[in-house]
Amino acid sequence: MNASRCELLRWQFDLTWSLFDYHLDRLEPEDFLWEPAELCWTVRRGSDGTWVPDWAESEPTPVPVPTSGWVSWHIGWWWSVTIDHLQGRVPREREEITWPGDGEAAIAWLRDLRTDWLSVLERLTDADLDAVAPFSWHDDPAHTVVHTVAWVNAELMKNVAEIGQLRLLRAVSTG
């Protein structure tokens, strides 16, 4: 069997999402803002009522442990911007991507992003995958759309593992 690259990337995304869905179905509202360590990044309500993520332009040493709320915002940020790029829209700035404000809304937001991402994947052809990526890491012009799609799968898998681990740690630490 010779599956196309689009089919393989979609299969990989679906596998990653199924692992995420497992955790999304089991997350409790308290999981999102639970701080697993003293040095922690989270989302905090700003003076205007919106939720603002902790952020530093250069990664601090040591790196703060994120909360599930922060990781869910992070997913929403990079995924929203990636979808903007691949749909030919002007990408939003990081500060324009806000966390919805609670676990249930965050889960709905992430599931909506999945739907948006599936519409991007459905229109891609193998030829589209060879196009120069509309944005690149480290300004490398060799990156193509296939790199972008593969990166989404890898970044999502990493973030899924982080949220899953945080959920499990909170469950065993709070009884």
pLDDT at 56: 95
User: Encoding tokens for residue 90?
Assistant: 């002007």
pLDDT at 61: 95
Which one-letter DSSP state was computed for residue 49? S
Check: CB of residue 84 under 8 Å from CB of residue 116. no
For domain 9-34+65-174, give the fold.
Four Helix Bundle (Hemerythrin (Met), subunit A) (1.20.120)
What does pLDDT average to in each consecutive run of 10 residues of the chain (175 residues)? 79 96 96 96 95 95 97 97 94 95 94 97 88 75 88 96 97 85
pLDDT at 1: 40
pLDDT at 132: 86
* Rounded Cα–Cα distance for residues 87 and 32 (Å): 30
Q: Write b or e for each residue in 144-154: b if 16 or more Cβ atoms lie within 10 A of its Cβ, otherwise e.
A: bbbbbbbebbe
pLDDT at 66: 97
Identify the CA nearest to 77 among candidates 166, 156, 157, 158.
Answer: 156
* H/E element, 104: helix 103-123
What's the pTM? 0.94
pLDDT at 95: 94
pLDDT at 125: 86
SS3 category, 92: coil
pLDDT at 3: 63
Identify the CA nearest to 120 among candidates 160, 72, 153.
Answer: 153
